[in-house]
Structure 1
Amino acid sequence: MSSVKNYIYLFFFQFIAFSCVQPPENFPSVPEINFEDMAFSSASGADSLIIRVGFRDAEGDLGLNPTDIDPPFQPVTFRRNNSGNLIVFSQRPPEAPAYNPIDWAINPIVNNVIVTDTVWVEQNENHNNIFIKFFIKRNGVFTEFRWEDPPYFTTFSGRFPRILNNNQGQPVEGSLQYAMLSFGWESIFRNDTIRIDVQIQDRALNRSNVVSSPEVTLNQIRRTAR
């Protein structure tokens, strides 16, 4: 158990988002973004990999608050059998995956009731509104570094809060800074060349264009923590 605890501690992360907004004119209904900056900051605690993208949107329906968890923004969809019952780990079918924290939920709340079991789930992409993909360069070729796969079983996609507090549509323009905290950046990527792809989504589920960071190493974008 100690190795599991150490592993969870090593790759623990969280997200921080900040935005500045100003009203433009004649902007697209589908969000439009451009890549602005990327930085790596090491500290005595978790290190930060920070990206910044500019955004433009005609309706301003960007961002999700913690209370935005009703469909289509629910975190997961519960898998059910042909009888409509939840599929639990002890009665899983042959095609079910082995236990991992992405495909199985322990003691989840279903219809406002705690289910004291381990239940098969499917992650809902629409729960998030910023989507992050990592790519690592080996032998001159970039391949995706999938955090969802073993041994990590996680993701750096997440949420940023609502840009506007009201539901009255209005055009917005600004910058979104998104910090990904981890204890493992340098131990994983070392001197590798990496690239990050970013995409955002509005509350109408319109996906923006995909933008890419420059090809960098962590040392090339390292900044001194203040």
Structure 2
Amino acid sequence: MKFHFALLFYFSLFLFSCDDENDTENSEPATSIPQIEFSEVSFIDVPNDADSIIVRIKFSDLEMNLGLNYNDIEFPFNWKHYFSNKTGKYIDFENESYDDLLTIKNIDVIDTLPAFDSEYSYLYWDHSPNIYLSDGTQLDDTVYYQLNNFHTNLFVNYYFRKNSEDFELFDFRKQFETLNYHARFPRIPPTATINRYPITIQEGSIKIIVTSRTSGFIEYGMASFGFKPLFGGKDLKLRISIADRDLNVSNVVETDIIQIPL
């Protein structure tokens, strides 16, 4: 997802407007499962550029084994899961061959596979699989896959409503194929080595402020030219959770309702 310089400017204004970066008190004691609290959300109308939604949450985690770096791409943080046509489980290339991959050739004999010619076939069928043969060439086949949620660690879902209707999930993947606003926040260094708080870690549109050995804040800026066309005049809110590197998922928090102008 492209990071806009305008977002960086407004993101910085949002960050430095917050006065609780030295807050080290948690509402609940830290546990091995991350816990989060909603702090703040803001919509920034940016003239002649992508508009922005910036959200801030507070987190706590006993071990602070939070964050993923760009090179954290091996299982269980890989992007996509591919499957074995023998077991139906994730394929194990150390013990299975490429012939054991669940591909389009299996669709006639495995009736639980999703249709290939449906409107949303791209959600299940990978035309350019991230699989490489021993000679370094990419596998030329159409392979069944599922996205791995744990390739990211910050999960953000958009819910909207018109008038008094119930809130409805907006599925970015169905509307825009691969786009969603799940993200990775970077690894937090071992807090045992930190002598002074707060410390700040910034990567792209995500900023982490570590305020104690077990807590801090995550601030995430999302930029799009589509916020007004999609959600203008509607009520919008976000549901957010995070995961640690042991794949423990936090509680889910909801933001305040965001009003986006037409």
Paired residues in the alignment total: 208
Match of 2:107 in 1: 93
Q: How big is the shift at 1:100?
A: 4.6
Match of 1:224 in 2: none
Candidates 129, 143, 147, aligned match of 1:119: 143
* Structure 1 unaligned blocks of 5 or more: 1-11, 221-226
Q: How big is the shift at 1:122?
A: 0.8
Match of 1:32 in 2: 35
Residues in 1 aligned to 2:59 and 2:81: alpha-carbon distance in whole angstroms: 30
3-state SS of paired residue (1:186): helix
Q: How big is the shift at 1:151?
A: 5.1
3-state SS of paired residue (1:80): coil
Candidates 94, 105, 111, aligned match of 2:126: 105
Match of 1:136 in 2: 160
Q: How big is the shift at 1:216?
A: 2.3
Candidates 186, 189, 204, aligned match of 2:228: 186
Where does 1:74-85 land on structure 2 (aligned, <5 Å)? 74-82=78-86, 85=100
TM-score (ref. length: structure 2): 0.67
Contact 1:61-1:167 within 8 A present in 2 as well: no
Q: How big is the shift at 1:115?
A: 1.2
Residues in 2 aligned to 1:194 and 1:155: alpha-carbon distance in whole angstroms: 16
3-state SS of paired residue (2:100): coil
**Residue identity in the other structure for 1:80:** S
Residues in 2 aligned to 1:22 and 1:126: alpha-carbon distance in whole angstroms: 29
Distance 1:34 1:23, change over 3 A: closer
Structure 1 segments, 4+ long, off by >6 Å, are: 15-25
Residues in 2 aligned to 1:153 and 1:66: alpha-carbon distance in whole angstroms: 19
Q: How big is the shift at 1:144?
A: 1.5
Q: Deviations over 1:36-74 (max 9, x none)?
A: 111122333322211110111111111100111111111
Distance 1:82 1:29, change over 3 A: closer
- Determine which structure has greater relative contact order: mean sequence separation of CA pairs < 8 Å that are 6+ residues apart, divided by chain length: 1
Percent identity of the aligned residues?
Answer: 28
Q: Structure 1 residue 65 and structure 2 residue 69: aligned? A: yes
Q: Structure 1 residue 212 and structure 2 residue 254: aligned? A: yes
Distance 1:118 1:165, change over 3 A: farther
Q: Deviations over 1:2-29 (max 9, x none)?
A: xxxxxxxxxx656999997987795221
Candidates 171, 177, 180, aligned match of 1:146: 171
Contact 1:21-1:175 within 8 A present in 2 as well: no
Q: Deviations over 1:174-217 (max 9, x none)?
A: 11011122221111111100111100011111111111001221
Residues in 2 aligned to 1:103 and 1:143: alpha-carbon distance in whole angstroms: 23
* Structure 2 unaligned blocks of 5 or more: 16-20, 88-98, 194-211
